[in-house]
Amino acid sequence: MSDTRPVRQQVVDFLRDEILALRFTPGEKLVERRLCEMTGASRTALREGLRQLEAEGLIEIIPNRGPIVPKLTQKHARDIYQLRGVLEADLAKQAAQNATGRDLSDLKEIARHVEAAMKSGERLPLVEAKSAFYEWLLALAGNEETNAVMRKLLGRTAIIWPSTVLTDLPVNESSVRHFFELVDAIAAHDDNRAMQAARVNVETACDFVLAHLEAT
């Protein structure tokens, strides 16, 4: 990894991509020596990166065992999506009330990327496009506490969500349709419709993930 980013950030970005691409599986122990070999980072830089990934909810660091990729249960998923539903409805309301012309232009561009990623049939571009939407939503709200909580919740669900994407295309197309209903409500500055669309978007995602966990 030879670029201008700090080594810690290179480690974070690399390992995040590996987890989202499912090259590390839920429940897998992450061996520091192997990670150092993969990234070329020192143990100090690696551990700094692992702490950031822990804050994002993508890994857990267990005493006397080390870092692992969390394995979500159905109860974990229900709890996470219940809280996401509350937070995302409020974020959608704020976005509908406060988004400017430039904000909405950025939102429509993100929506185009979501649609293109869906048509491509590739998981990672869709994950990245949906992640860009949440970055937009959180930046617009400007609430540091909500930002921190949402990032951890999104990190938790990102561990399982990529493995469900495109496994059942009709269901996933329905999820994307709900996403576009949310985008349309925000663009129309209709805060009540945006809140409802956000709730439906989260509920649909929750049902999808729960069905996947039950099947596996």
Q: Could you read off the pLDDT tens digit of each residue along the chain, which spans 216 residues?
A: 456 788 889 999 999 988 888 888 888 999 999 999 999 999 999 999 999 999 999 999 999 889 999 888 899 999 999 999 999 999 999 999 999 999 999 999 999 998 888 777 677 787 888 889 999 999 999 899 999 999 999 988 887 765 565 555 555 667 778 899 999 999 999 999 999 999 999 998 898 888 888 877
Q: Look up the pTM and report it.
A: 0.83
Q: Are 201 and 176 found together in one domain?
A: yes
Q: Are 123 and 16 found together in one domain?
A: no
Q: Is residue 175 part of a domain?
A: yes
Q: Are 25 and 113 found together in one domain?
A: no
Is 204:174 a contact under the CB 8 Å cutoff?
A: yes
Specify the 3-state DSSP secondary structure of 29. Answer: strand
Q: Are 51 and 102 found together in one domain?
A: no
Which of 21, 41, 68 finishes a domain?
A: 68
Is 82:45 a contact under the CB 8 Å cutoff?
A: no
Q: How many structural domains are present in the chain? A: 2
Q: Are 95 and 178 found together in one domain?
A: yes
Domain span holding position 34: 7-68
